[in-house]
Every structure is written in C-alpha cells, then in structure tokens.
Amino acid sequence: MRPFYENLPFICIFIAIMCGVLSAVIQDGRKVYRLALMMTAVIAVLSVVLLYFLYIEDVSFVYSMGRFAAPYGNAIKAGPLQALLATAFAIVMGLSLLGGGHSLFQDILPEKQGLYFAVTDLLMAGLLALVYTNDMFTGYVFIEITTIAACAMVMAKDTGPNLIATIRYLFMSLLGSGLFLIGLTLLNSATGYLLMEPLAKAVAILAELGQYQRPLVVSIGLMVVGLGIKGAMFPFHLWLPDAHGGATTSSSAILSGLVLKGYIVLLITLMTRVFGLQLMRKVGVSNILLTLGLLGMIFGSLAAMREYHVKRMLANSSVAQIGYIFMGLGLGTEAGVAAACFHILVHAACKPLLFICAGRLSTVSGHHRSLKNLRGSAYRDVAAGVGFTVGALSMIGIPLLGGFVSKLYLSEAALESPFMAVVLLTIAASTVLNALYYVPAILAIWVRPAWEEVRFIMLDVKPEDMRFDRLFFIADAVFIFLIFLLGIIYHPILNVIRAGIRLM
Amino acid sequence: MLEAISQNRFAVVAVILFGIGLLNIMLQQNLLKKVVGFSIMDSAVFLLLASLGYIEGHGAPIVEEGSVNASLYINPIPSGLVLTGIVVSVSVTAFSLALIQRIYRHYGTIELRELLERAKKEED
C-alpha cells in the first residue's frame, strides 16, 4: 500500500482545473474571485503537507497516470523541490490576486470578470503540471495551456496597447513552443521515449557511445532556446516589458512572478533529470546559458534605468532578475542550480510585491503611472510605500532580505566555475545598476513634493480610491513577511532545495 | 544523393515547410499572414513527427479481437502526439484569430508596424 500523500500532486492539479471549469460556468466575478482565492489556499496547504512528508522521509515518487506502465504512459514525479515550488506558486498566486483585487475589478469589464478567474485557475493548473510532470509531451501541452492563459491575462485589460502587447507575446511564445516541439520530436526519434526516466537512460547511453551526437545537441539546443524565449532569456525578452507593464496589477504580478518561472522550472527538470548537468556542460549549452544570463543581468537593468513608467521599469528589472536565474543554471553545477532555485523563490516573492505596491501607489495617485507623478505617493498609502521599499531593497540585495541570500549563494556557486571573475564582476555591476534605478524610485515615492505640484494629480484621485484597502494590506504584509523569511531563515529552505535536486 | 533525398522525403518536405512558415512569421507585417505562417510551421513539425512513426507497409494500430501482433502495425505514439499537437495548434490559432479580430475592431488595421506606431502614440 503506497501512502496517501502520493495522490496530492494530482489532486492539486485536478482542483485547479475543476475550479477553472466551475468559474467559467458561475460567471459572477465576486464569487469566482473568492473561489480562486480558496483554491490557491487549499493547494498551498496540500502542497505544504506533501512537502513535509517528502522532506521528512527524504523521498521522491513517480505517480503513473492511466493504465499504461512505464516506459510508456504518462506520469507525475514529485520530490521536495517540486512540492516547495508548488507551495510557493500557490501562495504567490493567491497573494497576487488578493493584492491587485481592487484594480482588477476596475480594469476588467464586469461580464468578463468570471472568465478572468477561470483563466487564472487554469494557469495555476498549468504551472503545477509544469512543475510536477514527468512526461515530455505533457510538458509541451501544459506549456501551451500556460501560454494561452498568460496571454488571456494580459489582454484582460482591454486597451489598444495591451492587445498589441498580447499579440507580440503570443507570437514569441508560439515560436518558443514550436522550437520546443521540434526538439522534443528529434529527441523522441533518437531515443523512442517520452517519459523522463527512460529518456534519461537512453540519452546517457547515446552520449556515452557517441551516437546521434548532432541530433542530441540540436534537440537540447532547441528545447533550451524554446524555453528560453518563453522565460524571457536575454535576447528574446523584447516582448516582456509591454506585456507585463501594461496588464492589470494582478496579471503583471502573476506573469512576472510565476509564469516565467514555470518554464524555467521545466528547464531545470530537463537539465537535471533528463540530460544531466554533465552532458549540458559537455555540449556547451551551459556556457551559452551563462553568457546570455550575464548579458541579461546587465542589459535588463540598463533598460530599466531608462524607463519612467513604473510598471515597465519593474518588468525590465524582471529581465535582469531572470538573467540571474539563467546565470545560476549556466554554471552547470548543483550549487548553481540550487542558487537559481532559491532565486526563483526570492523573485517570486519580491516582484509581485513590487507590482501590487506600484499598482496601489498609482491608484492613490489618480492612476498615473510615471514615477514623476508618483512623487510623495507613499504618504498616501504608507503600507504600499513600505512594501515597495522592502521589495526594491531586496532586489538590490540588502542583507536580512531574500535578494541578499540568493546573490550570496549565486556568488558562492560561481567560485567553482572557470569563469569566476567574469561572473562575480557582473553580479557586482548588476547590483550597482539595480541600485541606480531602485533607489531613485524609492526616493521618488518618499520625498514629499510641494503642494502645487501634486495638486493637479490629486484632482484625478477619486475618494473611493483613497479608502483603506484591507485585502491589499494583508497581501502586502504577507509578502514582506515572506521576503524577511527568505532572508533570515534560509538554511532550511536551501536544505529542501538541495534534497530536491538530489532526489530529482 | 537523389536516393538519400527520396529516402528522407518526409524530412526534406518538413524542413522546407518549416522554412516557409518561419520566413512568414519573421518577414510578414500582416498579423493574419503571421498566423498562417505558424500553421504552416506546425504542420511541418506534425509531418516530421508522423513520418518518424511510420513503418513502410504496416497498418494502422487498431487491434482487432484476439490478434495482437506488434509487427503488423506502425508506431502509435507519434500518431497520438500529432493528434494532441493538432488540438493544441487549433486552439492557439483560434485564440490568435480572435485577438486579431479584436485588434482590427480597435485600430482598423492589422499591419504590425502601423500598430506599433499607433500604440506608441497612444501612450505618450
């Protein structure tokens, strides 16, 4: 008799899909909103339970779906890392919906609100499936589901620029999934498997015998590039600022905080479970990831410095932070992958916080978005100001906050690398660049401007916007707590990640 | 040379189709033509995938009662993948067409370059 907790990953995915279907039927925005929040809470609790058992017993398990046994059929595989990521994804999803709830109901047409939450529920299912899947083709199908859901979330706020941003996002994503599919086809034709374990064995044998070297390298390259395009790896990130910057607050938070990570988690699974880090290093894909990650860290920050629109600035900063993750993966060591996983968690906590705070600050400033018009806005909602400050300081890498720990571990992982000097210098340069745009933003919201300057802005502010937003306050407080948690009690979390990578 | 091509005829056609699709996506400014490009690109991948599972002279993998002889059938897994892939591709195409329609109603054009200019102006 296998333990009951092995059913939990499937139950989580199933709950998310069922909630999506139910939401599409119910249609009433407020009810469905509550349903979505409850769903994320339930999934978070179930995932925590799963995490507890898997970490205590130090195991990972394969859960086969359907009647066909391995090496065919379909399966889920869960270990501590997967359970941790699922927990984090569910919590961040719930908090993002909570924090952006107010503007959500303003930005989206009333008759479309029910569908919006149907999409978020399906997105949650897609993300969970990307985390748990043990089958390449299921991975591909859920990549597409996540893509469509993410695009629908961008276009939910129905303005012209948003529609154009969505179509650009959609085209880039489709190109990415097309490349992934070809890579998958080549790999399947060379090995004959789709389940990850037999695939990994076959790949290892091919690599050892030196057969089919070129198809193998091409397929690894295509898959990495395909997922890289979707995860906003450096030269393929041009769709990101408009799509993430223009969407409604919750969408931006979820897209930046979670959707990018879903693809990267699948990439990590491929790297560690299927190809193996050694092979990745041998065929040189690791070095490409490292180079593109380093470039992204610099150019993302440079683009963010030029931005005056606060949400687009945050979106550009995501490109830089994603660069850190790819850099960690590109180091090609377990320490690097562990640091990258930790940075996934840190970024998933910081960026949604920054987005919901920026959204709140712009709400209390008459929906103006440029930093110039947000001057002194922190005094109009102190909680949002504090949240923005904490998130920004964490992104810069101030001790006691999550961002510091991930930078520390990324640097430590870099020490073993042959490119130590370049990596460390880039981390230093990128930190300075981060400070160069986050510090002015913090100053802008906290410096009280002369009354004549804000008078015109205050004319646009409606009284109901100034009211205390309780849901936002809760989300804000929990996010700040999470960032401090990641920054202070990081040893247990890193232990879970290391155990997870070992049991991949 | 010719023999190699005829042996790999599916792969050759798939590569050509993929190239056509990719060029359409990259070079066309009309959003609708880009979507057509995606469809062509997807078809190329499906052709390649289906041909990889095809074994000359074997039948469709439908098991009749009693007789299960694997050597009579083609490999069913790639066919299954192609079916799933087609479903995915259809839904993505439907989504992009709906989006393009929405853009057309909003701006009255579906030329990407023009749209980008308009969007930039709208923001300033």
A435 Cβ contact list (under 8 Å, min separation 6): A396
Question: Is the peptide bond prior to A71 cis by the omega test (within 30 degrees of 0)?
Answer: yes
Cα separations in angstroms, A161 against A151, A475, B103: 13, 29, 9
Distance of CA A114 to the CA centre of its chain: 24
Distance between A444 CA and the closest CA of chain B, angstroms:
21
Proportion of chain A above pLDDT 70, given as a percent: 100
For residues A237-252, give the mean pLDDT: 88
Task: Read off the DSSP letter of residue A236.
Answer: G
Give pLDDT tens digits for A462-498: 777 778 888 899 999 999 999 999 999 999 999 999 9
Distance between B113 CA and the closest CA of chain A, angstroms:
11
For residues B92-117, give the mean pLDDT: 89
Give pLDDT tens digits for B56-88: 777 777 777 766 777 778 887 888 888 888 998
Contact: B95, A188; criterion CB under 8 Å:
no
Within a domain: residue B62? no
Contact list in A for residue B92 (CB cut-off 8 A) is: 144, 147-148, 170, 174
Give pLDDT tens digits for A39-94: 999 999 999 999 999 999 998 899 888 777 767 778 899 999 999 999 999 999 99
Query: How many Å apart are CA A298 and CA A153, to the nearest integer?
Result: 29
Contact: B88, A141; criterion CB under 8 Å:
yes
Of A103, A139, A142, the residue nearest A122 (C-alpha): A142
Closest chain B residue by Cα to residue A186: B49
Task: Return the pLDDT at B124.
Answer: 60
Closest chain B residue by Cα to residue A166: B99
ipTM: 0.90
Contact list in B for residue A160 (CB cut-off 8 A) is: 103, 106-107, 118-119, 122
Number of domains in chain A: 1
Give pLDDT tens digits for A150-192: 999 998 888 888 888 898 899 989 889 888 988 998 888 888 8
Number of domains in chain B: 1
Contact: A170, B96; criterion CB under 8 Å:
yes
Task: Return the pLDDT at A79.
Answer: 92
Query: How many Å apart are CA A471 and CA A374, to the nearest integer?
Result: 22
Average pLDDT, chain B: 85
Give the pairing of strands A61-65 and A74-78.
antiparallel
Of the candidates B42, B52, B106, which has its C-beta nearest A178's C-beta? B42
**In this structure, how many other beta carbons lie within 10 angstroms of the beta carbon of residue B96?**
23
* DSSP class per residue in A151-166: HHHHHTS--HHHHHHH
A502 Cβ contact list (under 8 Å, min separation 6): A334
| Structure-block tokens of residue B89 | 């591709």
A to B CB pairs, distance under 8 Å: 78
Contact: B99, A160; criterion CB under 8 Å:
no
Task: Return the pLDDT at B66.
Answer: 66
Task: Return the pLDDT at A379.
Answer: 87
What range does the domain containing A493 cover? 4-502
Give pLDDT tens digits for B84-104: 889 989 999 999 999 999 999
Query: How many Å apart are CA A21 and CA A14, to the nearest integer?
Result: 11
For residues A178-207, give the mean pLDDT: 88
Proportion of chain B above pLDDT 70, given as a percent: 95
Give pLDDT tens digits for A322-344: 999 999 999 989 999 999 999 99
Phi-psi region of A40 (alpha: psi -120 to 50; beta: other; left: phi over 0): alpha
Phi, psi of A370 (to 5 degrees): -80, 145
Task: Read off the DSSP letter of residue A399.
Answer: T
Q: Does A70 touch chain B (CB under 8 A)?
A: no
> What pTM did the predictor assign?
0.93
Task: Return the pLDDT at A54.
Answer: 93
Query: How many Å apart are CA A503 and CA A162, to the nearest integer?
Result: 42
Proportion of chain A above pLDDT 90, given as a percent: 54
Closest chain A residue by Cα to residue B89: A144
Q: Does A372 touch chain B (CB under 8 A)?
A: no
Residues of B with CB under 8 A from a CB of A: 18, 25, 31, 34, 38, 41-42, 45, 48-49, 52, 77-78, 81, 84-85, 88, 91-92, 95-96, 99-100, 102-103, 106-107, 115-116, 118-119, 122-123
Give pLDDT tens digits for A210-242: 888 888 899 999 999 999 999 888 888 888 888
Average pLDDT, chain A: 90
Q: Are A423 and A417 in contact (CB under 8 A)?
A: yes
What range does the domain containing B85 cover? 2-55+75-123
Contact list in A for residue B31 (CB cut-off 8 A) is: 167
Within a domain: residue B60? no
| Probe site for chain B from A171, A186, A369 (most B CB atoms < 10 A) | A171
Q: Are A380 and A364 in contact (CB under 8 A)?
A: yes
Contact list in B for residue A72 (CB cut-off 8 A) is: 77
Query: How many Å apart are CA A82 and CA A67, to the nearest integer?
Result: 24
Query: How many Å apart are CA B99 and CA B4, to the nearest integer?
Result: 43
Print the SS3 string covering A200-215: HHHHHHHHHHCCCHHH
Contact: B84, A141; criterion CB under 8 Å:
yes
- Please state the length of chain A: 504
For residues A267-274, give the mean pLDDT: 92
Distance between A307 CA and the closest CA of chain B, angstroms:
13
Position A225, amino acid: V
Task: Read off the DSSP letter of residue A61.
Answer: E
Give pLDDT tens digits for A391-442: 999 999 888 998 999 999 999 999 988 888 999 999 999 999 999 999 999 9
Q: DSSP strand E in A224-382: where? A: none
Within a domain: residue B6? yes
Helix axis angle for A402-414 and A310-330, nearest 10°, is 30
Q: Does A211 touch chain B (CB under 8 A)?
A: no
Task: Return the pLDDT at B60.
Answer: 78
Lowest mean pLDDT among A168-177, A377-386, B7-16, B112-121: B112-121
For residues A288-302, give the mean pLDDT: 92
Question: Does pLDDT of B52 surpass 90?
Answer: no
Q: Are A157 and A246 in contact (CB under 8 A)?
A: yes
CATH number at residue B38: 1.10.287.3510
A124 by Cβ neighbours in 10 Å (0-12 / 13-18 / 19+) ranks as: buried
Contact list in B for residue A144 (CB cut-off 8 A) is: 88, 91-92
